[in-house]
Chain A
């Protein structure tokens, strides 16, 4: 699932490890989510979005809307 994690991290000057510590997950988790190799559960996606003070849709790109060309 495409997302804006890398950009959002860069804006705050956070490393993957910094974000992982704040989310209380492994750095590998952050890397896998950021690179689109792992889709987080809904609770974790909410935690990530809330960490940046954004809604889920502002962090993660809806795969179905992307497919239909809406995004």
Chain B
């Protein structure tokens, strides 16, 4: 079976590869510098935010794909994936927050933030598409 690869999908894939690479580099740099206690004050704030920027970039890439992709069915698949991902992420984070509010769970998230669960949710969204319309989509 030939997979559909429009220019919009190719651009989306390239953006993802670049952003994930940037994420790994910035995260590794931030972890190393904080471990070495090499930064403080405003530079520390900037360094702490740096790994978040490529993740925000992934949200941007998803939205750009929705604008650029000419195939309406492909756009619909990704919108459904995003809706499933958002619902999944909000559900997990809400339950987790209440468990922490009532001291059932300790504070902190161990590095697993909202974005992590949103990306996991995209996977569930693809599965939902596969089961209901026969194809997972491209994201």
Contacts and interface: CB of A to CB of B under 8 A. Distances in A.
* A and B assemble together: yes
Interface of A: 17, 20, 24-29, 31-33, 35, 37-38, 40-41, 44
B4 A27 contact: yes
Q: Which interface class (under 10, 10 to 19, 20 to 34, 35 or more) fits B?
A: 10 to 19
A27 B2 CA distance: 8
Nearest to A17: B2
A32 B71 contact: no
Contacts of A28: 4, 73-74, 134-135
Nearest to A30: B73
Contacts, number: 42
A26 B73 contact: yes
Given A25-B73, A27-B4, A32-B73, 4 more contacts: A26-B73, A28-B135, A29-B73, A31-B134
Nearest to B6: A26
19 contacts: A24-B70, A25-B70, A25-B73, A26-B71, A26-B74, A27-B4, A28-B4, A28-B73, A28-B135, A29-B73, A31-B134, A32-B73, A32-B133, A32-B135, A33-B73, A37-B132, A37-B133, A38-B133, A41-B72
Contacts of A20: 4
Contacts of A31: 134-135
